[in-house]
A and B are shown apart, each in its own frame.
Chain A
Amino acid sequence: MSLAGSPQPAGQAGGFHRVTFTGKASEYFGIWIVNVLLTILTIGIYSAWAKVRRNRYFFGNTVLLGRSFEYHARGVQILIGRLIVLGAFVVLNIIAAVLPILVLLPTLAVLIALPWLVAKGLRFSARVTSYRNVRFDFVGGAGGAFKAFILGGLLAVITLGILTPLASRWVSRYIGSNLRYGGKAFDTDPKLGAIYKSWFLSFLIAVVGLGIVALLVVANLSLILPMIETPGSLTPEQQIPVFISIAVGYVVLFSTLGIAGLFYRAGVRNIAWSATTFDAKHQLMSDLSRTRYTWIAISNVIVTLLTFGLMRPWAAVRMARYTWEHTGITFNGDVGELFSTLEAQGSAVGAEFMDFEGFDFGF
């Protein structure tokens, strides 16, 4: 193998190191299509093992200082976790279908259980991930997950997106500051001002999209008003421009909101990662180009749909390569010395066998 005898960190100088991604579309294609085939053949049971192979491939090809990350979850663990969540979901929905008075029960149960499941899921994901034989750990609780995901999400929605940066900051801090590696802590504190600066561009894109939709409505007002007042008064010929406008408006709305969301996601990733330190002295970094990230995400979806899914492996590898190769870390001091002292700490060792997957949020 070309990477056999990869560089040893021992004695390697500190300073800035980029992550590299060594996955190849042709290699992942085989893994992906066999995953799909075996999942269908086993009426879904294999999907747990498929996830393990997929994650092992992507983690195993994410390389820092010549060594890759590793994913350790077992198919059985994931299957059991999914069965528990699915079983609870089915039971709740049957109760709600049989007793419509309790129609809000599943929603309520999900709202209460979700923060707990998210915290569980993050802990599971962290504990089944290792780098250089040492596992990550996650110490966040349900309370923090409630604030970051439920409360933050609600605030973002009811303020029509104006408080989204606040929610993003809560999420970044919840994930970034509760992550541990070898008993040492990560810490994140992205500045709200920086997130708002990035958010403003997405806000403008969304406003432009809504403006186009409003223009379409105004342009067709002479046709829309009679339709509302006296339905059926329009001839089919008159209805055609209205339907075309509705279709165009739908596409414009969803594509501009999609673009705004992708721009924002890339911006927040840059800000959050670049505001993260490990062990209070090693600085993480992300320098995605927002335009390039958005272009890759959108062209990926188009190419995947046009090829009936066959180019999905190429799309996934392309996105992973772009994001990881724009991620790095600046080590303060000798890297060899750092990695000769890190040891797995107590609870993170083997404890994932007692864990269940919960709600997989991923990192």
Chain B
Amino acid sequence: MASENAIAADGAIASGDWHPAGSSRSIEARLVERAGEIAALPVAGEKPLAGAGLSWIEISARVGSIPRRVTFPDGSVFETWDNDGVDRYLAARGKGGAGLVHWLEQFRLRLIVIVLAAFVLGGIVYRWGVPALVEVAILTTPPIVPELMSQGTLQALDKTTFSPTKLPDDKRKEIADGFARIAAQSPRGTGAYTLNFRDGGFIGPNAFALPDGTLVVTDQLVEMAGKDTEMIVGVLAHEIGHVELEHSLRQLYRAAGMTGLIMLIAGDVGSSVEDVLVQGGGLLALSYSRDAESAADRRSVELMAKAGYDPTAIARFFTLLEEKLGDKSDTSLLSTHPGTPQRKKEITDYARIISGQSDPDLQ
């Protein structure tokens, strides 16, 4: 045992204050080891106030240089600011001194390693940990969950917003036939999707997919498309893309994962900084949403090409949007969907790539 770990010859460990059990009354005292027992003795006196074997007393773990508590079996407490004295005694008795955590926490050069490790691990969790957890969550989600979610959502929308479709039967059949052609190209098969027509009410021209493969297209969208059924099929192919790539569940889980990550370190970053992080996380979620839209656009191009349709049919839908709704906005940090002109360009470029032509950017 190194000399610095030796215990003073008279068995003195530290000096401090002794409290009877549950009392604020204190007596100035010293902690000593006598005949294998630890005892609290009054400053001027030899009659122990309390005492017990080392295995019967509880010594609080060291945190910085806050006072240590030594609790005796009778509930009385010896309190001291002399952390080093207590650690020397514990080390000499083979109890590991101040402990590993305190050793790591000391403000020494080696702390740089811990700082780097924390940053690297934090980055790994953000870059790979959260996405991996999202994939695991999607794989382990029983199919009944998206089914129940979707049925519930459609019921709620039917009650509050939608009314039955007013489209003529032949128009609906035309769209449903086109839809069956592209659905057959999806690995999930035609049976995985059901197409519904609804009067959209105040939602207006829109089409969306629920995670179980339920697709809804509103009368207003069909009317806006006029005679161009192929364009509606292109939009539906985009929605099939969302279902195949499981975008709804993925976004739900990613949002939960990021919130969890921020909350875990929240106690240690302060509430204002936490607010800033949550706002930043919101912006990131929007960028994921834009990525999802682009991925679904590309899937539309692929499905349409396979089914023998014009792969860029959905681009015509965006042209129509620009004309009717005046949507000429560029992609910005705050939008959920990429800017329309940019989407059109990406669609035509991708259609050229998959039809065997060279990448236009390389020409």
Q: Is the CB of B121 within 8 A of A41?
A: yes
Chain B residues with CB under 8 Å of A101's CB are 152, 155-156
Known A-B contacts A34-B105, A98-B148, A99-B148; the reply to A27 vs B64 at CB < 8 A is: yes
Q: Does B82 contact A (CB under 8 A)?
A: yes
Q: Is the CB of A301 within 8 A of B117?
A: no
Q: Is the CB of A39 within 8 A of B25?
A: no
Q: Does B107 contact A (CB under 8 A)?
A: yes
Q: Does B84 contact A (CB under 8 A)?
A: yes
Tally of A interface residues using CB under 8 Å = 77
Q: Does A282 contact B (CB under 8 A)?
A: no
Q: Is the CB of B273 within 8 A of A309?
A: yes
CA distance A31 to B326 in the complex (A): 56
Q: How far is the CB of B362 from chain A (nearest CB, A)?
A: 28
CA distance A44 to B119 in the complex (A): 15
Q: Is the CB of A301 within 8 A of B23?
A: no
Q: Is the CB of B121 within 8 A of A231?
A: no
Q: Is the CB of A31 within 8 A of B84?
A: no
Interfacial residues of chain A within 111-139, with CB under 8 A of chain B in the complex: 131-134
Chain B residues with CB under 8 Å of A252's CB are none
Residue interface mask B55-90, A partner, CB < 8 A = 1: 000000001111101000000010111111000000
Q: Is the CB of B114 within 8 A of A37?
A: yes
Q: Is the CB of A27 within 8 A of B19?
A: no
Q: Is the CB of B326 within 8 A of A53?
A: no
Q: Is the CB of B325 within 8 A of A232?
A: yes
Q: Does A204 contact B (CB under 8 A)?
A: no
Q: Is the CB of A132 within 8 A of B66?
A: no
Q: How far is the CB of A113 from chain B (nearest CB, A)?
A: 19
CA distance A291 to B115 in the complex (A): 34
Residue interface mask B76-120, A partner, CB < 8 A = 1: 010111111000000000000000010011110001001101110
| New contact pairs (12) apart from A30-B107, A53-B101, A315-B270, CB-CB < 8 Å | A1-B82, A31-B64, A32-B268, A33-B118, A34-B104, A40-B264, A40-B265, A50-B267, A67-B67, A70-B69, A133-B79, A305-B276
A-B contact pairs, 10 of them (CB 8 A): A30-B107, A51-B267, A54-B267, A99-B152, A100-B156, A133-B79, A232-B328, A258-B272, A300-B270, A339-B26
Closest 9 CB pairs of A and B: A60-B66, A232-B326, A30-B105, A344-B22, A133-B19, A342-B24, A132-B24, A37-B118, A100-B152
